[in-house]
Amino acid sequence: MIPAMRYTLWKQSDTYNITGGELKYSRTFLLGVTNGVLFNLAEALIGGTTVLPIFISTLTASKVLIGLSGTMGNAGWLMPQLVVANLIQHLKRKKPIYIWAGVVRIICIWAIALMVAFLVGSRAGLFLVLFFILYSIYTLAAGVAGIPFMDIVAKAVPSTRRGTFFGARLFFGGIASVLAGLFVRNVLATRSFPNNYTILFLTASAVITVAIISFCLASEPETISRETRMPFRRFLLKGPFLLKNVRSYRWMLIVRIMLGVWGMALPFYIIFARERLGFEASSVGIFLSIQMVGMVLSNILWGALSNRVGNKIVIVLVSAVAVISPLVTLLSNVYPSLQGMLGFGIVFFFLGFTLSGIRLGYANYMLDVSPEAERPTYLGFMNTFIAPVLLLSSVGGFVIERTSYEVLFITVIGAGILALAFSVQLEEPRRSGP
């Protein structure tokens, strides 16, 4: 008889050990995973590739505004990080910055949810103005929190376990999001407008609140840091220095820009499905679930590759997979078999596959290539460089209005191919060093 494996869990020096295996996870690791799972769940409820574009499309026909709403979250997260990096790099502990940014985010998302409940039905124009103002503040506050979050993760999670860390956030978050997709479908199909979106925004606000609080409870180790803050003018000179002298950094910027151009079509797959293929608004829940299945399954691959091989291979493979969704979308114009739920579901499956790989591979690659004392600088410059590219979805909307969906999707296929070509030039930091 095989003896039963015994598992015990105890706390020792802020670390949880699971015997019966060789696993050892800090409290920060576990709270960080919880934070990621909940944010993925919130993204499923009001996500920029599914629910949010459909919601905004009920209030305006402008493809520019629809596109902008779909990518503001990612762009806003990146935009303030250059300034934040300079302001906090000398601090030994950066969690207080995360906490204050979290308070702002909670206030803004609840204000948006309440506006959906009380303003959308009577003053849609006013709602749109206030929504874009509050959502901008919310996403910029997320960007302020981004640098301390990544710095805390880098200090608390070893390089060889970051693939597991980010993979677990996306894997379990993906499972929760699959169920959320079914919830979204049910709410949109059975409740009238705007009550259906009110439920989704209120639920997402509660989830986001718990997510932020969970990471506020994490422990932050002290780290190597400058004694004083570098003058901002001198700090700005670091950007050209990094691009000129750090090869991995330079190539990663080019790859990330190409993937940002690829992302300009993200809000429009669901709009294409509704306008060209005739899907109901409630179908967004099913497509969302399919996208999350792609995310869950891909994280098994991405996490293993990140831990065992490195993050260059993750980025190369992600760049190759990125062309599948826009290519299938184009082919759906020709092949009826791609116009049904299962056929067009391929698009959203590989969107999940690609987006999870970008998040995991990019984040881990940047942590690997960034020296500890300079990590906020490396992250801040990179994220600020690429932030404007992530607002290109508004340009994507303009392209659709002036030309067609086909021109947009051909453009992003080209961007994916270029990302693949440049990604093979990356070095693997674990072998070559930054």
pLDDT digits 0-9 by tens, 313-365? 999 999 999 999 999 999 998 998 898 888 999 999 999 999 989 988 888 88
Number of domains making up the chain: 1
pLDDT of residue 219 exceeding 70: yes
DSSP state of 124: H
- What is the CATH classification number for the domain harbouring 46? 1.20.1250.20
Residue 380 and residue 82: Cα distance in Å, rounded? 4
pLDDT tens digits, 45-56: 988 778 888 899
Q: What is the pLDDT at residue 143?
A: 86
Task: Please check whether residue 189 lies inside any domain of the structure.
Answer: yes
Task: Please check whether residue 327 lies inside any domain of the structure.
Answer: yes
Task: Please check whether residue 326 lies inside any domain of the structure.
Answer: yes
pLDDT tens digits, 252-275: 889 989 998 999 999 899 999 988
Q: What is the pLDDT at residue 391?
A: 77
Q: In what order do the strands lie in the sheet with 9-12?
A: 9-12, 15-18, 23-26
Task: Please check whether residue 51 lies inside any domain of the structure.
Answer: yes
pTM (2 d.p.): 0.77
Which backbone phi and psi does 417 adopt, to 5 degrees? -65, -40
Task: Please check whether residue 380 lies inside any domain of the structure.
Answer: yes
Range of the domain at 76: 24-432
- Tell whether the torsion through CA atoms of 152, 266, 132 and 64 is positive or negative: positive
Task: Please check whether residue 14 lies inside any domain of the structure.
Answer: no
Task: Please check whether residue 337 lies inside any domain of the structure.
Answer: yes
Of the candidates 297, 286, 271, the one whose C-alpha atom is nearest the C-alpha of residue 178 is 286
Task: Please check whether residue 301 lies inside any domain of the structure.
Answer: yes
